[in-house]
Homo-oligomer: A and B are copies of this chain.
Amino acid sequence: MSTLSTRLLEIRTGVLSKNDQLAARLRERFQRAGVLALNFVSSPGSGKTALLERTLAELVRAGRHPAALVGDLATDHDARRLERSGALVRQIETRDMCHLEAEMIATHLEAAGWNLAELDYLFIENVGNLVCPSGYDLGEQVRVVLLSVTEGEDKPVKYPVLFNSADVAVITKLDLAGACGIDLALMRQNIEEVRPGITIFETSARTGAGMDAWLAWLMAKGVS
């Protein structure tokens, strides 16, 4: 390893452990306030925003109090989409950053001025990226990885690091499974190979298929 790489590695380790410390403090705050924090990770275009849109609306309808922080390199399209659910929503524009970090969560929570004690859920929509978000703890209690049927069965074995770091997997765009000719059993098997024992949901935010099981899990998990 060259001197340059060694130095880079040392400094990256420094950055990561600073992130880990901040994430641990955030997790304590969330737990004290009785907020379930979930970090949604996936490829770009896997349907994080569509799943959240429907999830937030259903939780609001059920009398729960969800909020969402939405990460994108640019634009506030997602935040505007999600606000229609009636939930509290704030956009995080990362510019050229390929992932969210705990410091961004802390900064945006403070700027939003939300009273965490009044919230039941904090959904964090990460930047669409199957690699880089894996190393950055955001203080979440649950990491949710999404995988669209349109992406192919092999993604978990080709991008094992992120799938391995997740607690829950949500297969999305189930309504396109037939058109894509996807082998759902193989997709599930590949997820379980990389992350044995993971909870898997199969959903379509468009048709509503599978949303009941996902929402029932969230409702049960969110009781503090």
Contact = CB atoms under 8 A, between A and B. Distances in A.
B130 A44 contact: yes
Contact of A74 (B74, B152, B157): B157
A128 interface: yes
A155 B8 contact: no
Contacts of A77: 154, 157-158
How many copies of this chain?
2
A164 to B, nearest CB: 11
Given A128-B130, A148-B150, A150-B173, A44 B74 contact: no
A57 interface: no
A43 B160 CA distance: 16
A74 to B, nearest CB: 5
Nearest to A180: B176
A215 interface: no
